[in-house]
Structure 1
Amino acid sequence: MKKTPPVTDATPDDGQTTSWRPRGNVLALAAVSFLTDASSEIIAPLLPLFLVGTLGTSVRMVGLIEGAAEAVAALLKLASGWWSDRVARRKPLIVAGYTIASVVRPLVALAQSGSQVLAIRLVDRVGKGIRGAPRDALLAASVPVAQRGRAFGFHRAADHAGAVVGPLIALACLQGLGMPVRHVFWVAAVPGALAVLVAVVFVRERRVTPAELKPVASPEPVAAQATATKAPLPRTFWSGIAPMVLFTLGNSTDAFLLLRAAQLGVATALIPLLWVVLHLVKSASSTPGGALSDRLGRRPLIVAGWVLYAAVYAGFAFAEAQWQAWALFAVYGAVFGLTEGSEKALVADLVPAAQRGTAFGWYHALLGVAALPASVLFGSVWDVWSSRTAFLAGAGIAILASVWMALQIRPRWVV
């Protein structure tokens, strides 16, 4: 009898059909993320100006608000992912997370001080922290493994599409309708409420079956090393996300890219349009990038994305003209298409179904915590030396992470 070839990073397959179209939870969760991001991005581009210009807070306070908010979200993702594994239910946490954020987010319109905005943002991020890991675990459970990368890529594409629509809605309200900024913040309640409605009505719970606790064919056969929610996560999970943490240490906030674009001559009025271009490319490339990870393997796509990231950062270091900023932003968007869906699919591949909530919780928590010093270090290098040195340092860290991840790719002939 002919033996079945071993499953490797280059040949992910679970024996199921690869024909695919978004439906069920994949489509529902994508719609929820689209609406939520549209709601969030109505406020996000205006919030720094509102804090500094209207409320009179310092720039340092702006950084504190965003840093603290993201740290809270990262840590809560770990707790909510673990809890969703324990109770074997994802939907209640998903709905609760989206509801909290959608109710609290527009209250920024009532804020009279930076501390009030901080409190609102913290509660908003509590909602994000509660929903993130259970949502990713439910999405992974809703598609066969051979379609997992495409599903995560499609979800990220919808998320980035919302990030395009949100600022355009804000722009239309401000410029077209002449609305005050506080009134624009209230508009964010509409897509937020629709997101909760879609989550309640269309997202379906999917419980872990006994069959899913047994070893299964996967792009990462080691996923079956642990078979119960109380067992420790497999060693291969930790080795898989370790390079991601290293990469994140060199992946600073994209606000620095906007500052560099301004240095290169991009007018302030065009900065929002530059942001829209970035998210358009992210959205357009995410589904194809995730699908490629299903065909070629997760790690090769991640490595390719990180190498491209290093090239883009090197480009920003040596760029001298305005058009180069536009070109680099467009290429930068493709980095997310190659990596975001592939990374999440890899996390799902590395653990059994009953531990995916915990695994995604650790993934989000570690990357969220690593992102905090990343931006501080980048800004410090920029201030002490130069923007060129900071961007080259970020590129160097990305190359190191790429080499580390590449060393984990198993050749086809290795069993």
Structure 2
Amino acid sequence: MGQEKPQRKFFGLSQNVFVFGFVSMLTDFSSEVTVKILPLFLANALGVKPAIIGFIEGLAESTATILKWVFGWLSDRMKKRKWLAFSGYAISNVTKPLLYFVSSWPFAAFLRFADRTGKGVRSSPKDALLADSSEKKKLGRSFGYGRSMDTLGSVFGMLAAAGMIAASGSAAAMTLTRSIYQKLIIMVSIPAVLALPLIAAFVRENAPRTGNPRTLNLSLSGFDWRFKTFLIIIVIFTLGNSSDAFLMLKAQKAGLDIVQIFLMLAMWKGVTSALSIPAGILSDRIGRNRVIRAGWLVYALVYLGFGLATQGWQVWALYALYGVYYAMTDGVASALVADLVPQSEKRGTAFGLYNAAVGVSALPASVIAGILWQRINPSAPFIFGSILAFVAMIALTVLMRVSAGTNPTAVT
């Protein structure tokens, strides 16, 4: 895969894949808590409206869109992936502690913008590095392991956050105050720093030695038609996949306090962590398309359930199923991109385009959700998302049938 000598193996995984799993775990201990508490802090402590929160969350995710594309291409152009990934992690890890000083939503939006800049710099080079460091027959296992480890970090982070909030008293459990928010930011900023030495010391460069793309591929020419079609389908799905901030607001509306919400989030991430590797292995055996479609069906049913839920126990059950959706789609979709673009010298650009397709849809998705929440009712965003998930699932089914026999491993 473009290496001078083979990497060491750990439990059947390459050294790069194995090490990046721990990098993801440490980073997500920090990232997931900061991402999840910010909407609650804005709503509870600063009184920010749902439409503004939707705008901030959508802007944060869309910020990385062009950067994921550009830096994916740049990693192909420079034939360097490791240090681009390192730089992206460094940007995010420096930004997170500054959330301690947030006192207005524009400042919060700026810091989320900066944090997602780091995400945009690192994501595509890292995914391309992992794909190039994996055996083709184990791509699902490799990406599943990565998703399992980063969600495991989320579990630890959520449990730590719940413990800190519970120790602060019953009043803190009902609403997220500024003082509790600041303590949480300090706590979760520490582990992320440890991720940088791991990358520097143990991740090995593994970029392509062939190809030399000089311009961004705006026309998508040179890519398989199935890859282009998959990007369109991803856009359809993502337009209904609004920020998880709305799920948390829904949980609070159903009567859950802050501690219960964080314990529920830990449960959700625990389900995802436990099932990500089995889902990846399953996709290696029966095909990515089938696993992704099943995951989207789960998502459609879960979002429909969120639209109808009124009780706290219902939200708990739906969050558990939400973890099943994530396990079946997150890592598997990345493995499918690697399948559809087997050329190492184009994978950075391909992952950039895939991430861009998701990111460019994130802002309108969250803005639409915020408007539906305020103008119609809090159930409307979830019913809308459920409908688009069904549409995307049908479209992916059609793609599978049209392309049957062309590449069974990647598409069926």
Q: Same fold (TM over 0.5)?
A: yes
Amino acid at match of 1:240: F
Residue of 314, 323, 334 corresponding to 1:344: 334
Structure showing greater radius of gyration is 1
Asked if 2 retains the 8 angstrom alpha-carbon contact of 1:57 and 1:114, the reply is: yes
Relative to the length of structure 1, the TM-score reads 0.83
- C-alpha distance in 2 between matches for 1:289 and 1:134: 24
1:20 positional shift: 5.7
Q: Secondary structure at the match of 2:99?
A: helix
The size of the alignment, in residue pairs, is 382
Query: C-alpha distance in 1, partners of 2:57/2:253?
Result: 24
Take 1:285 and 1:163, find their aligned partners in 2: how far apart are those partners? 15
**For 2:184 and 2:316, how far apart are their aligned partners in 1?**
28
Q: Any idea what the Cα deviations from partners look like across 1:246-305, whole Å, max 9, x if unmatched?
A: 111111222333333344444454222221111111111111111111101111111111
Whole-Å Cα distance in 2 between the matches of residues 384 and 50 of structure 1?
Answer: 23
Instruction: Give the corresponding residue for 1:322.
Output: 312
Greater shift after overlay, 160-169 or 150-159?
A: 160-169
Cα displacement (A) at 1:135: 0.3
Structure 1 unaligned residues grouped into runs of 5+: 1-18, 214-226
1:277 and 1:60 mapped to 2: Cα distance? 28
One-letter amino acid of the counterpart of residue 39, structure 1: S
The answer to which of 118-127 and 333-342 deviates more is: 118-127
Cα root mean square deviation, aligned: 2.7
Q: In structure 2, do the counterparts of structure 1 residues 54 and 251 end up closer, same or farther at CA, with 3 Å as the change threshold?
A: closer
**Aligned pair 1:125/2:116, yes or no?**
yes
Change (3 A) 1:304 1:145: same
Number of the residue aligned with 1:47:
38
In structure 2, distance between residues paired with 1:172 and 1:288: 30
Is 1:38 equivalent to 2:29 in the alignment? yes
* Counterpart for residue 108 of structure 1: 99
| Whole-angstrom CA distance in 2 between matches of 1:121 and 1:78 | 19
- Of 71, 75, 79, 1:80 maps to 71
- Percent identical across equivalent pairs? 40
1:77-114 deviations in Å (ceiling 9; x for gaps)? 11100100101110010011111111221122244544
Does the Cα contact within 8 Å between 1:101 and 1:128 map onto a contact in 2? yes
What is the aligned partner in structure 2 of residue 204 from structure 1?
A: 204
Q: 1:395-410 alignment to 2 at 5 Å?
A: 395-410=386-401
Equivalent residue number for residue 137 of structure 1: 128
C-alpha separation in 2, matches of 1:299 and 1:241: 13
Q: 1:98 maps to which residue?
A: 89
| DSSP-derived class of the 1:188 partner | helix
1:280 aligned to which of 263, 270, 285: 270
Kindly indicate whether residue 161 of structure 2 is the aligned counterpart of residue 167 of structure 1.
Answer: no
Residue 380 of structure 1 pairs with residue 397 of structure 2: no
Distance 1:389 1:172, change over 3 A: closer
Contact 1:42 1:169 in 2 (8 A): no
CA distance in 1, matches of 2:54, 2:44: 15
TM-score for both structures, normalised by structure 2: 0.84
* Cα offset, 1:209, TM superposition: 4.5
Deviations 1:124-182 (CA, angstroms, capped at 9, x unpaired): 22111100000000010111111001111111111111111122223444544898543
> Match for residue 361 of structure 2?
370
Instruction: Please give the secondary structure, in 1, of the residue aligned with 2:206.
Output: coil
Range moving further from structure 2, 47-56 or 270-279: 47-56
State the shift of 1:354 in Å. 0.6
Distance, in Å, in 2 between the alignment partners of 1:234 and 1:292 is 24
Q: Which runs of 5+ in 2 are unaligned?
A: 1-9, 170-178, 216-220, 407-412
| C-alpha distance in 2 between matches for 1:182 and 1:326 | 27
C-alpha change, 1:112 and 1:332, in structure 2 (3 Å) is closer
What CA distance in whole angstroms lies between the structure 2 residues aligned with 1:394 and 1:413? 28
Q: Which of residues 238, 253, 256 is equivalent to 2:246?
A: 256
